[in-house]
């Protein structure tokens, strides 16, 4: 009687982003740990090592998210958002003004602001670049500066410029801080990926040579998880493949 050959579906784990690698391994551990006593000595040992490695990866990711500059950036982002809100609010209100001079100024400035109206809803680093562009164009046009002065919001444009420059500086300093850290998630990702592959190989071998119902069930659950993450490994379309699709 010939054994049934079980092979995991294709997954290029090394190509996954760091956060996806961590999540894949974490989910795999959560599937395997409750049945670790029933999967065999080698798979169990590989699981234990995988768990240790992923804890280290998660710690490095968490460490990389912490920085003395992060809170300062949050405050600056909130403050520049407040300046943008005032500029939009005052401009909108003066569009309905009975003062012809202020209404004309508001119309001039509003026309300029329309492409930038939702700038404060963009991702923070993207917002920085768009605000830079907006301020450069604003400062290059005397009519816009005059309009802002008539409405009494020229100081908010100046404040926005200063806060955006400060935010950009903090952003660059934080990036430098991350780059200088000795142990980073990027350093640990290949180790975690290798440990994941080793665990998958151990499960594959166990389910082929010493199968039991628990191993087969675990194999199937892990394989379904791999199919989901296959959509993120850059080898195919950004949608999960059909369970009926042939494995590569």
Q: Would you state the pLDDT for residue 17? A: 87
State the pTM of this model. 0.51
Q: Would you state the pLDDT for residue 195? A: 97
Q: Would you state the pLDDT for residue 234? A: 66
Cα separation values, 149 from 37, 78, 107, 219, Å: 74, 24, 14, 69
Q: Determine the Cα–Cα distance for residues 120 and 128; give it in Å rounded to an integer.
A: 9
A 10 A CB-CB count for 238 gives 7
Cβ 31 vs Cβ 173: under 8 Å: no
A 10 A CB-CB count for 240 gives 15
Q: Would you state the pLDDT for residue 172? A: 86
Q: Map residue 231 onto helix, strand or coil.
A: coil
Cβ 32 vs Cβ 221: under 8 Å: no
**38-85 tens-digit pLDDT:** 999 999 999 999 999 999 998 888 765 566 788 888 999 999 999 999
Low-confidence stretches of the chain (pLDDT < 70) are 1-3, 63-67, 178-183, 234-248
Q: Would you state the pLDDT for residue 175? A: 75
The two structure tokens encoding residue 36: 């670790």
Q: Give exposure, 66-79, as e/b (b: 16+ Cβ within 10 Å).
A: ebebeebbeebbeb
Q: Determine the Cα–Cα distance for residues 207 and 73; give it in Å rounded to an integer.
A: 51
Q: Residue 179, Cα to own-chain centre: how many angstroms?
A: 17
């Amino acid at each position: 009687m010939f054994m049934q050959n079980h092979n995991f579906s294709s997954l290029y784990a090394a190509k996954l982003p760091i956060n996806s690698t961590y999540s894949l391994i974490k989910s795999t551990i959560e599937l395997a740990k409750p049945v670790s006593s029933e999967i065999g000595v080698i798979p169990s040992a590989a699981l234990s090592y995988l768990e240790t490695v992923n804890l280290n990866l998660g710690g490095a990711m968490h460490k990389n998210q912490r920085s003395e500059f992060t809170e300062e950036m949050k405050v600056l982002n909130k403050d520049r958002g407040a300046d943008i809100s005032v500029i939009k609010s005052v401009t909108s209100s003066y569009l309905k003004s009975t003062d012809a001079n202020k209404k004309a100024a508001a119309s001039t400035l509003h026309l300029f602001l329309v492409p930038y109206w939702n700038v404060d809803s963009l991702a923070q680093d993207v917002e920085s670049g768009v605000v830079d562009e907006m301020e450069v164009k604003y400062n290059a046009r005397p009519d816009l500066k005059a309009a802002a002065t008539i409405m009494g919001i020229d100081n908010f444009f100046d404040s926005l410029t200063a806060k955006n420059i400060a935010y950009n500086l903090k952003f660059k300093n934080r990036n430098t801080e991350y780059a200088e850290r000795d142990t980073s998630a990027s350093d640990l990702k290949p180790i975690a990926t290798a440990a994941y592959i080793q665990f998958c190989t151990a499960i594959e071998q166990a389910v082929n040579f010493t199968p039991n119902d628990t191993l087969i069930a675990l194999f199937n659950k892990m394989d379904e998880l791999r199919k989901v993450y296959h959509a993120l490994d850059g080898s195919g379309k950004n949608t999960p493949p059909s369970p009926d699709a042939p494995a590569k």
